[in-house]
Amino acid sequence: MSTVLISGSKVGSKTRTAMEAVRKTIETNYPDEEVTLLDLSEFDLVFSDGRDYREYKGDTKIVTEAVMAADTLIIGTPIFQASIPGSLKNVFDLLPQDGLREKVASIVVTAGSVKHFLIAETQLKPILSYMKAQIVQDYLFIEEKDFFRKEIVNDDVHFRIERLIENTYLLSGTYKKMLQETEDAYDF
């Protein structure tokens, strides 16, 4: 099974730091899982022009095909102007309408203020559910004060990362079984 982690911002380091911590935890606790971290600040993506995702070139093709090939997505996002960054929204725009069908998606938010807590609920989850992802309902919310010099300095955040990952793979496994059961129920 494969997991793609997205660090959704071109700016700053907190989301990347959080996603690195997520990666380490997965590698330790789920050594069989194949994990890829896509930091959007390292890719040069074009804006969506409506074509099929496989017809883009270069970084755009690499990122979209990696996301489409994943079983599980963990999406890291900062909050910009009371929403997700445009760089992350563009990744969704590049994908087919139902591009997250049969994928499990969970969310990691980094934010400068607790006032942003519900942004993922009201702005990111609707996108994921529209694209037919199976969403892990609890998400991880990390504040600025939890970081110092590109490290997570609040132990509780590490515990919460562990719980998020556990919940994510619990849903992945359950969903796979459910899907298999549904498919087996058909006589063709």
Q: Which residues bind other proteins (CB under 8 A)?
A: 49-55, 68, 96, 98-99, 101, 182-183, 186-188
By the 8 A CB rule, do 124 and 111 touch? no
Pick the closer one to other proteins by CB: 101 or 177.
Answer: 101
Of the CA atoms within 13 Å of residue 134, those in its CB half-sphere come to 17
Pick the closer one to other proteins by CB: 32 or 186.
Answer: 186
Compute the least distance from the CB of residue 55 to other proteins, in Å.
4
Geometric angle at alpha carbon 171, from 169 and 173, rounded to 5°? 65
- Which residue type, as a one-letter code, is found at position 113? S
Give the helix/strand (H/E) hosting 36: strand 34-39
Which among 136, 85, 145 is positioned nearest to 113, based on CA atoms?
A: 145
Compute the least distance from the CB of residue 99 to other proteins, in Å.
7
Pick the closer one to other proteins by CB: 61 or 89.
Answer: 61
Compute the least distance from the CB of residue 32 to other proteins, in Å.
25
Pick the closer one to other proteins by CB: 32 or 187.
Answer: 187
Pick the closer one to other proteins by CB: 81 or 186.
Answer: 186
Pick the closer one to other proteins by CB: 31 or 50.
Answer: 50
Compute the least distance from the CB of residue 47 to other proteins, in Å.
12
Compute the least distance from the CB of residue 29 to other proteins, in Å.
30
Compute the least distance from the CB of residue 57 to other proteins, in Å.
9
Q: In the 8-state DSSP scheme, what is residue 163?
A: H
Nearest-10 crossing angle of helices 86-94, 58-69? 70
Which among 115, 162, 114, 154 is positioned nearest to 138, based on CA atoms?
A: 162
Structure-token pair, residue 59: 């970084």
Structure-token pair, residue 91: 């990744």
